[in-house]
């Protein structure tokens, strides 16, 4: 959490019913806000090297083929 703070972000442990959410593999999830990611590939590579990090939800190295975008008008499907 301190490492995200050093980058300008605010990290919070995801909660479920007031308790830290634990994944099927026994991991905790951090939700991070306030980051300005100018170089997604470098950011993802850096964070993946931090001790304790299992995965990063940036997915810059694995380009998406489909995006489901929620909007006021419903869900839009964008394909690449």
Contact (CB, 8 A) for 66 and 78: yes
| DSSP label of 22 | B
Tell me the residue length of the chain. 80
The whole-number pLDDT of residue 44 equals 95
* Positions in the chain whose pLDDT score sits under 50: none
Contact (CB, 8 A) for 38 and 50: no
CB neighbour list of residue 21: distance below 8 Å, 6 or more residues apart: 13, 14, 15, 28, 29
pTM of the predicted protein model: 0.73
Cβ neighbour number for residue 44 with a 10 Å cutoff: 19
Residues 22-36: tens digit of each pLDDT = 999 999 999 999 999
The whole-number pLDDT of residue 48 equals 95
Superfamily of domain 2-79: ACT domain (3.30.70.260)
The whole-number pLDDT of residue 75 equals 96
């Amino acid at each position: 959490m301190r490492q995200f703070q050093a980058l300008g972000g605010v990290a919070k442990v995801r909660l479920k019913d007031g308790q830290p959410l634990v994944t099927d593999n026994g991991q905790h999830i951090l939700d991070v806000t306030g980051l300005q990611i100018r170089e997604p590939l470098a950011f993802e590579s850096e964070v993946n090297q931090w001790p304790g990090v299992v995965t990063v939800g940036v997915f810059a190295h694995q380009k998406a083929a489909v995006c489901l975008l929620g909007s006021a008008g419903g869900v839009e499907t964008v394909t690449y």
